Amino acid sequence: MNLDFTPAEEAFREEVRAFVRSRVPPATRTKMLDGRHVSPRDLVEWQQSLHRQGWGAPSWPQEYGGTGWSPVLQYLFEEECAVGGAPVQLPFGLKMVAPVIMTFGTTAQKQRFLPRIISGQDWWCQGYSEPGAGSDLASLKTRAEKQGDHFVVNGQKTWITLAQYADWIFCLVRTDPAAKPQAGISFLLIDMKSPGVTVRPIITMDGRHEVNEVWFDDVRVPIENLVGEENRGWTYAKFLLGHERTNIAGVGGSKRELARLKRIATLERKNGAPLIDDPCFAAKVAEVEIELMALAITTLRMLAAEARANIGAEASLLKIKGSEIQQSLAELLMQAVGPYALPLQLDAFERGDAEAITGPAYAPPLGAHHCKTRKTSIYGGSNEIQRSIVARTLLGM
């Protein structure tokens, strides 16, 4: 495999870099590079800016309003956006439910939902996990009973990221309780404004309100919001999870965090010299950088394979290593600043209350960031489950 980018690809990289430099608001860029909280408005405005440029859906085919870019161009785009301090494009609509709708949805569903996803008009969230169905997703209990021209949904979903802002949720629901676990599940699109939908916050250990419980109490969902065939939702769920696990690799975001780590390590001192010059610490940084380089190469190989056919268990490899690298970077950032990375200082940092912060100004977000990355090895299917998938499917064990 030739790992060198062509002159045309390098020119594209420069085009994206210039666009990010000119279009991302300076305040937003600073927040991203410093690991601070970005608002929902920041995320939506960036999606709208990309949409106006014609870059709103880098991975979509042109027939649905996407760019039609090759896997390499998609990779370069996402890397330059991340390294340049652009907000993330929310994956729930663009990279999760949209491919399912494109592949299995009706013409009416494509016409209704896809344009509003790419324009940033609709915010989506994912309704998979339940209190008793996380890694064992097939044991989900949220039920949908057909009554006339509607499904009536009852149950609970949990750990639903950013559901407090969502317009729509895509859900796995049980439509045939008598069938085998994987055989009786359907894939529904549910309007979050429907009567009977309740969102309750879960405050995580980093002090953020990022995830939620979502309750359904006799929620009526039109039958036309069923994607694909009834009781075939498990097939669509596996298709979606392949896309999600590829995204979790997060090479661009890790490169941004690696640059932040090196920047902080040049400012921190040990025995009067920059921390980055300490052989032990420098070796740890070098080790994670080498792993990140290997992940980047593997991601490119997977993207090339995805262009030819849907990837399966290979996506688990990206999920495992990508999440581990993110956690390693967060740990090294914590080590670099020591006790100054106290999560309790985060609120003062976000308020701009300098007098309430002890230590360097770049330290307060690091404790919260470390807490947040603990979950990367769990969501999208825990790493233990992913290792089982790799062993069974790729290694034949």
| Torsion angle defined by CA atoms of residues 225, 231, 233 and 234, in that order, rounded to the nearest 10 degrees | 170
CA 73 to chain centre: 19
Residue found under tokens 């069923």: 226
Specify the CATH number for the domain of residue 80: 1.10.540.10
Whether residue 44 is contained in a domain is answered as yes
Considering the domain architecture, whether residues 56 and 13 belong to the same structural domain is answered as: yes
Q: Which of 42, 71, 89 is the last residue of a domain?
A: 89
381 or 40, which is more confident:
40
Considering the domain architecture, whether residues 193 and 223 belong to the same structural domain is answered as: yes
Q: Cα(221)–Cα(85) distance, rounded to whole angstroms? A: 39
Decide: helix, strand or coil at residue 48: helix
| Averaged pLDDT of the chain | 89
Q: Which residues of the chain form beta strands (DSSP E)?
A: 124-127, 143-147, 150-157, 168-174, 185-191, 197-203, 209-222, 226-227, 269-270, 273-274
Whether residue 379 is contained in a domain is answered as yes
Taking alpha carbons only, the member of 51, 213, 19, 220 closest to residue 122 is: 51
Considering the domain architecture, whether residues 265 and 225 belong to the same structural domain is answered as: no
Residue found under tokens 């976000």: 350
Mean pLDDT confidence for 312-318 = 75
- For 369, counting Cβ atoms within 10 Å of its Cβ (0-12 exposed, 13-18 middle, 19+ buried), the class is buried
Considering the domain architecture, whether residues 180 and 272 belong to the same structural domain is answered as: no
Mean pLDDT confidence for 244-256 = 79
CB 133 within 8 Å of CB 119 = no
Decide: helix, strand or coil at residue 171: strand
pLDDT for residue 36: 83
Q: Which residues of 204-351 form beta strands (DSSP E)?
A: 209-222, 226-227, 269-270, 273-274
Cα–Cα distance list, 242 to 2, 95, 187 (Å): 25, 10, 16
The pLDDT tens digits for 173-188 are: 999 999 988 899 999 9
By annotation, the residues acting in catalysis are 244
Considering the domain architecture, whether residues 228 and 255 belong to the same structural domain is answered as: no
Specify the CATH number for the domain of residue 358: 1.20.140.10
Whether residue 106 is contained in a domain is answered as no
| Torsion angle defined by CA atoms of residues 344, 346, 348 and 353, in that order, rounded to the nearest 10 degrees | 130
Whether residue 366 is contained in a domain is answered as yes
pTM comes to 0.87
Q: Cα(234)–Cα(137) distance, rounded to whole angstroms? A: 10
The pLDDT tens digits for 1-23 are: 556 789 999 999 999 999 999 99
Q: Which of 180, 200, 232 is the last residue of a domain?
A: 232
Q: In angstroms, what is the C-alpha Rg of the chain?
A: 22
Whether residue 241 is contained in a domain is answered as no
Specify the CATH number for the domain of residue 135: 2.40.110.10
Considering the domain architecture, whether residues 337 and 227 belong to the same structural domain is answered as: no
Tokens coding 162: 């950013």
Owning domain of residue 321: 249-394
How many residues are listed for the chain in this entry?
Answer: 397
Considering the domain architecture, whether residues 29 and 162 belong to the same structural domain is answered as: no
The pLDDT tens digits for 218-242 are: 999 999 999 999 999 999 988 887 6
Q: Cα(93)–Cα(160) distance, rounded to whole angstroms? A: 14
Considering the domain architecture, whether residues 227 and 325 belong to the same structural domain is answered as: no
Whether residue 80 is contained in a domain is answered as yes
Cα–Cα distance list, 138 to 189, 197, 235 (Å): 18, 23, 11
Considering the domain architecture, whether residues 324 and 371 belong to the same structural domain is answered as: yes
Banded pLDDT at 347 (limits 50, 70, 90) = low
Whether residue 389 is contained in a domain is answered as yes
Considering the domain architecture, whether residues 227 and 132 belong to the same structural domain is answered as: yes
Whether residue 150 is contained in a domain is answered as yes
Q: How many domains does the chain have?
A: 3
Q: Cα(58)–Cα(314) distance, rounded to whole angstroms? A: 21
Q: Which of 204, 232, 260 is the last residue of a domain?
A: 232
Mean pLDDT confidence for 142-152 = 97
Considering the domain architecture, whether residues 262 and 390 belong to the same structural domain is answered as: yes
CB 169 within 8 Å of CB 160 = yes
Considering the domain architecture, whether residues 221 and 256 belong to the same structural domain is answered as: no
Q: Cα(29)–Cα(33) distance, rounded to whole angstroms? A: 6
Q: Cα(161)–Cα(143) distance, rounded to whole angstroms? A: 21
Banded pLDDT at 327 (limits 50, 70, 90) = very high
Amino acid letter, residue 366: L
